[in-house]
Structure 1
Amino acid sequence: MRKKVAFYTLGCKLNFSETSTIARSFEKEDFDRVGFAERADIYVINTCSVTENADKRFKTIVKQAQKNNPEAFVAAVGCYAQLKPEQLAEVDGVDLVLGATEKFKITDYLNDLTKNEHGEVHSCEIEDADFYVGSYGIGDRTRAFLKVQDGCDYKCTYCTIPLARGISRSDTLENVLVNASEIASKGIKEIVLTGVNIGDYGKGEFGNKKHEHTFFELVQALDQVDGIHRLRISSIEPNLLKNETIDFVSKSDSFVPHFHIPLQSGSDEILKKMRRRYLSNLYVDRVHRIKRVMPHACIGVDVIVGFPGETDEQFLETYHFLNELDISYLHVFTYSERDNTLAAEMGNPVPKNVRAKRSKMLRGLSAKKRRAFYESQLGSTRTVLFEGENKSGYIHGFTENYVKVKAPWNPELINTLHLVELTQIDEDGLVRFEFVPEKIMA
């Protein structure tokens, strides 16, 4: 009988794309992939180091796997597995822990799937993670996450990602285009470009700091790939988002008017303590540039509250900075101490109840910003790509500029593009629409 494998992914879009690549390696070894809630012979958990209480979350997922099949082989891969391999190996039920370079060769480490008495660890020194493995993952049959870059050379004081993923390195332009064409051939309508620091695209393997190609050249090349209806840039540092890229996106038929740009703080003093590579005035300039050439563009922002030493005045500086800026929504992260980071050694921690209060304030601001952005889009004609899940009798979709819409469930709409007029905001905050007649896109 063919053996069964199940996957659980924590964290970012990049992790999801890598899980898909790892899953394809199992398929080549004649495994059948099943859902994580089903009985499987091996459960693979792709971990994340960014989420708070990562170890607690991991233990819960391992217990779920053991409940599904007490005899199943359990493997941990990903960022947390690289940072704390011994800690994960000690969790009851874990048989194998693989680090940053080993995870893509997971099938090489599997013998007869007999459970180990103690978790076995294969984890390199992160300095050895100097080669690149391309990957892409397909979400709900409507979009794919295409990895173009890995690792980071930045030294932000709060971040463990360079410790978990190594130096910045990129896929070749040729391989990215091959993967993009492969995705398009499967009928996928949208590709989301992912990586750790995708604006740094072009650095080769083995620590080669020379850029073989620039991010702008990547964008230009992808725009020429046949069969891709939408290309979306997942997240890009403000100092690496150049005018040429913004202007190109504004004229592109494939790249959509949606940018996600990490800010982290609106206080220049805090940005310096974080060792970010820009100050607030550059961020304002990037937002203004986008809105000048694409007034309807959606702009998402990452922000951290409660960084060590952040005063009430500095937090309010961030709040007012974001309130006055023409952005569309926030991803709010509450700072949590991470081992082996400079920020954890800074002292002067912000009390956790204050962090929680600041987080709540910014999440409220995010809801206000999203509502205002949606209201600004009412009456406009947009293209919607419908997704594949029935959510309480409704089908959802996103416009090119990331307005989330809803309609009564109709499976014929799945993975189709339609021209619609946005008409009203529903009680749940999602947008209703009317189809524009005779304008089925694909």
Structure 2
Amino acid sequence: MNRVYIKTYGCQMNERDSEQVASSLRDRGYSMVDNEFDADVVLLNTCSVRDQAEQKAIGKAGYLAKRKRSNPNFMIGVLGCMAQNRGSELVDRLPDLDLIVGTQKFHAVPDHVDQLIKSYAAQGPRPTTILDLEEEEGSQNTIKDHLPKKDQVCAFVSIMQGCNMNCAYCIVPKTRGRERARPMDQIVEEVHELAEQGVKEITLLGQIVTSYGRRDFPVVGGKSPFVQLIERINDIEGIDRIRFTSPHPRGFKQDLVEAYRDVPKLCEYVHLPLQAGCNKTLRAMNRPYTKERYREIVDSLRAVVPDMYFSTDIIVGFPGETEEDFDESAVFFEDIGFDMSYIFKYSIRTGTPAETMEDQVSTEEKERRNHVLLDILAKRSLWRNEQLVGTVQEVLVEGPAKKGYKFVGKTRGYRNSIFDGDDRLIGQLVQMKVDRATASTIYGDLVLAGVDTI
């Protein structure tokens, strides 16, 4: 009964949480497997940002319950945001669940699994579903361990949990709680350990990562705690690149803008959530900025790094968004010139202010608006990648591509890159001359001068 499979839905934060749970279980003596059919315990780490994500997880749990009926000792657990959001409702809907653990109790999973295994081994009545959703002070500090992976080049580092914003459409403050920052020294120590293991690129994670430590640590020399943390990680030998996600536009004060100019390892790629390019819609969403302020941020970043790459999040079909509002948003979206975007069709989230707003937009209209933005994005992404043809780009080699005999890596601007290579290049920064491009990928040949091939 010691084989565990974890399936993760949703964002990079969820991926990081799953890795922490896996590391804790492994340390307890459990074996992590890559296939649910080989597992004695299946844990679903869930997402609540959109209804579709919840429905996928609920459907998966229902499917697994069929297996439990033929193997009563098989165990199913639901973790994370949906567990926190729906709580005991899941027990009523999915009575075969053994374990429901919220976002501040990931560290308790090994204890709960131990308890369940003992209960099943006693061969008594089926144990009652364990429901653990309580808030816990200091829980943000428990997401700190990593599973060693062969040739791991990139790693996520959670620096904070929770969100203090009140966006009208968003369930995250309910599922993740208030902002809670980890100690800066602890984060730096974690990155040192990753560097010693061969990790070259770090992505700092938080629900609003740019809010890191603003209530816990002082501003020093005009620099926020977040910028101070970036500078400390920049000094760690072995780390070549720094990224972060997901920020908020209000976090882009001058100190962070200037960090892109002054911190060599901070990559010239910004994920800057827009959500809407119409001030009326932004107000309805309770987003505390205007499109004019958003443009100022973009312009300030391009002033310090002219070739900056931008990605964003944007929602179509928010309640009350008229066709004229959307057209205004689409013009702004095209004018900014995003290189990548996550485009979401608005999804009702129970318990949010937007749930009861009037003038809900039809599914068909949301689909149409989604395609309009996808077309704009595809043209811009292809154009931007085509500008790289004939240039030489620095690529961090991540490993073999999924198909064929090629290798894959990313540029500092987060462009997916495909090239001929071999295993000894994994983890190295190489120069690639780009010879062709699609909207999502650039292709080329390596310029091998200076690469350590020993």
CA distance in 1, matches of 2:190, 2:107: 17
- Cα RMSD of the aligned pairs, angstroms, is 2.4
Query: Taking structure 1 as reference, are residues 17 and 308 closer, same or farther at Cα in structure 2, changes over 3 Å only?
Result: same
Query: Taking structure 1 as reference, are residues 151 and 173 closer, same or farther at Cα in structure 2, changes over 3 Å only?
Result: same
What one-letter code is carried by the residue in structure 2 that aligns with 1:135? K
Query: Taking structure 1 as reference, are residues 429 and 264 closer, same or farther at Cα in structure 2, changes over 3 Å only?
Result: closer
| 381, 395, 402: which one aligns with 1:370 | 381
Corresponding residue of 1:416: 428
CA distance in 1, matches of 2:299, 2:173: 31
Segment drifting more, 169-178 vs 111-120: 111-120
Corresponding residue of 2:358: 347
Deviations 1:1-41 (CA, angstroms, capped at 9, x unpaired): x8111111111111111111111111121111111334112
Q: Do structure 1's residue 234 and structure 2's residue 245 form an aligned pair?
A: yes
Q: How does 1:15-94 map to 2 (within 5 A)?
A: 15-63=14-62, 65=64, 70=71, 71-89=73-91, 90-91=93-94, 93-94=96-97
| 90, 105, 123: which one aligns with 2:133 | 123
CA distance in 2, matches of 1:209, 1:385: 33
CA deviation after TM superposition for structure 1 residue 292, in Å: 1.7
**TM-score, reference length from structure 1:** 0.91
What one-letter code is carried by the residue in structure 2 that aligns with 1:250? R
What one-letter code is carried by the residue in structure 2 that aligns with 1:271? L
Q: How does 1:50-199 map to 2 (within 5 A)?
A: 50-63=49-62, 65=64, 70=71, 71-89=73-91, 90-91=93-94, 93-110=96-113, 111-113=115-117, 114=119, 116=126, 119-124=129-134, 131-133=139-141, 134-135=143-144, 141-199=152-210
Query: Taking structure 1 as reference, are residues 153 and 7 closer, same or farther at Cα in structure 2, changes over 3 Å only?
Result: same
CA distance in 2, matches of 1:415, 1:333: 34
Segment drifting more, 58-67 vs 144-153: 58-67
Corresponding residue of 2:256: 245
| 412, 415, 426: which one aligns with 1:400 | 412
Query: Taking structure 1 as reference, are residues 413 and 305 closer, same or farther at Cα in structure 2, changes over 3 Å only?
Result: same
Query: Taking structure 1 as reference, are residues 61 and 296 closer, same or farther at Cα in structure 2, changes over 3 Å only?
Result: same
CA distance in 2, matches of 1:243, 1:281: 17
CA distance in 1, matches of 2:332, 2:340: 14
CA distance in 2, matches of 1:262, 1:441: 39
Query: Taking structure 1 as reference, are residues 245 and 425 closer, same or farther at Cα in structure 2, changes over 3 Å only?
Result: same
Q: Do structure 1's residue 440 and structure 2's residue 451 form an aligned pair?
A: yes
Tell me if structure 1 keeps the 8 A contact 2:312–2:340: yes
CA deviation after TM superposition for structure 1 residue 405, in Å: 1.3
Deviations 1:280-322 (CA, angstroms, capped at 9, x unpaired): 1111011111112212221101100000000001101110001
CA distance in 2, matches of 1:375, 1:251: 28
Segment drifting more, 63-72 vs 382-391: 63-72
Q: How does 1:292-311 map to 2 (within 5 A)?
A: 292-311=303-322
Deviations 1:333-357 (CA, angstroms, capped at 9, x unpaired): 1101111100111121011110111
Match of 1:144, SS state, is strand
**TM-score, reference length from structure 2:** 0.89
Tell me if structure 2 keeps the 8 A contact 1:4–1:40: yes
CA deviation after TM superposition for structure 1 residue 441, in Å: 6.6
Segment drifting more, 290-299 vs 104-113: 104-113
Segment drifting more, 243-252 vs 70-79: 243-252
Corresponding residue of 1:386: 397
CA distance in 1, matches of 2:403, 2:267: 29
Corresponding residue of 1:6: 5
| 287, 291, 295: which one aligns with 1:276 | 287
CA distance in 1, matches of 2:231, 2:173: 28
Deviations 1:69-110 (CA, angstroms, capped at 9, x unpaired): 743211111011001022332325321101222222112223
Between Structure 1 and Structure 2, how many residues are aligned? 435
CA deviation after TM superposition for structure 1 residue 268, in Å: 0.5
Query: Taking structure 1 as reference, are residues 210 and 361 closer, same or farther at Cα in structure 2, changes over 3 Å only?
Result: same
What one-letter code is carried by the residue in structure 2 that aligns with 1:86? S
Corresponding residue of 1:317: 328
Query: Taking structure 1 as reference, are residues 57 and 388 closer, same or farther at Cα in structure 2, changes over 3 Å only?
Result: same
Unaligned runs of 5+ in 1: none
Tell me if structure 1 keeps the 8 A contact 2:430–2:448: no
